[in-house]
Amino acid sequence: MKLINSAFLLSLIPLALALENGLMRTPPMGWLSWERFRCNTDCKSDPHNCISEKLFMDMADRLAMDGWRELGYVYVNIDDCWTAKERSATGQLIPDPERFPSGIKALADYVHGRGLKLGIYGDIGTFTCGGYPGTTLDRIEQDALTFAQWGVDMLKFDGCYSSSDVQAQGYPKMSKALNATGRPIAYSCSWPAYRGGLPPQVNYTLLANICNLWRNYDDIQDSWDSVLSIVDWFFTNQDVLQPVAGPGHWNDPDMLIIGNFGLSYEQARSQMALWTIMAAPLFMSTDLRTISESAKEILQNKLMIKINQDPLGIQGRRILQEKSHIEVFLRPLSHSANALVFFSRRTDMPYRYTTSLVHLNFTQDVVYEAQDVYTGQIISGLKAADNFTVVVNPSGVVMWYLYPTMYLDQPFSFVQQHPEARKARPFTL
């Protein structure tokens, strides 16, 4: 019965609620507190890691000083547990006075002063997931205006302690309220994560008109099993999810956990590659003050980021699942290029996977060049019908940036006939 009511409510939402903010034309990038720091509010015992203005100032400093900002990691996003336990006498959300003594406006100014953007968290329910004041339907306009006055650049709007009917009213209503503030505030909806299943019971056409990105599935945990569960859900549902992603509206498989405790080096490389194939937002949730050089190298891979930020904004697909437990993923890119990922679910030893581009449905009469995204190695003169072999480590990936160079019967004519393809050429890592 709830599904029927929600569907009815969705049909009544006017087109005027379209987001219309012009933001996030490529997947957003930045840092988000939740997976790594959760709802740690014990600043007396753990001042270095508690949810406080100092934590977010520290991360803003790291983004600005350690090369992240220049690569596109520009959002510093507060998640749950930032507010006081009660609203003010006038009903306004207020930050916890001990953990955020300077206030959110001052924190936003600090973040903006470093060339970055500030995100904040809210919840359409009576409480947030952490038990802090939620944004009930009658508080939506007030909270949207408060966020705008503080200088917030993005809102993540969760759905704990709310019904499906409230979500169906509240998520579009917040979109309209954010627009009405006059400040461009990117909007991340958790709505589909509360309406999951196979297939998900979500009107994605509507969602793309009211949200810049949306959480689809369970929260990521610091484990390889969690990453795999998200990958499985996303690519099982790719026929539903893939068509609705694009500039300004993205499917969000949740945070990057690279640099934490749960992934091996190969698994970290795999998460980065698979999130990039999905045209996913790249929100790191790790301690940037202590991150290892190997994790930093994965997250700061320039060719990977170029692919993730491709202006066409086409979400990739899984195109093959082999009996050998090798899977192949493809994402079309601008300038006639493609990204290919060969992913191993094996746990025994490196696997020599042999295939051809024709087998992967590439045009037979074209010659390609491939650049390994992680090593930079270039394979030239790759004919579509030729067999090639990639060695994929257990739980690992080989990722290629692939672009055409010529037609077999007309050397060099591909670039002559497709001038834009000149821009898809070897990339300096």
Give 108-158 as a DSSP string: HHHHHTTT-EEEEEEESSSB-TTSSB---GGGHHHHHHHHHHHT--EEEEE
Is the CB of residue 390 less than 8 Å from the CB of residue 383?
Answer: no
Phi, psi dihedral angles at 132 (to 5 degrees): -95, 170
309 secondary structure, DSSP code: T
CA 118 to mean position of chain CA atoms: 16
Q: Indicate which residue of 66, 219, 222, 372 is catalytic.
A: 219
Q: Indicate which residue of 158, 254, 287, 310 is catalytic.
A: 158
Q: Which amino acid is at 429?
A: L
Tokens of 226: 């969690």
CA-closest candidate to residue 382, choices 354, 405, 353, 350 = 405
Tokens of 396: 């690992």
- Which uninterrupted H or E stretch holds 265? helix 265-277
Percent of the chain that is helix, strand, coil (3-state, to 5): 35, 20, 45
> Is residue 158 flagged as an active site residue?
yes
d(CA 316, CA 262): 26
| Catalytic residue annotation | 158, 219
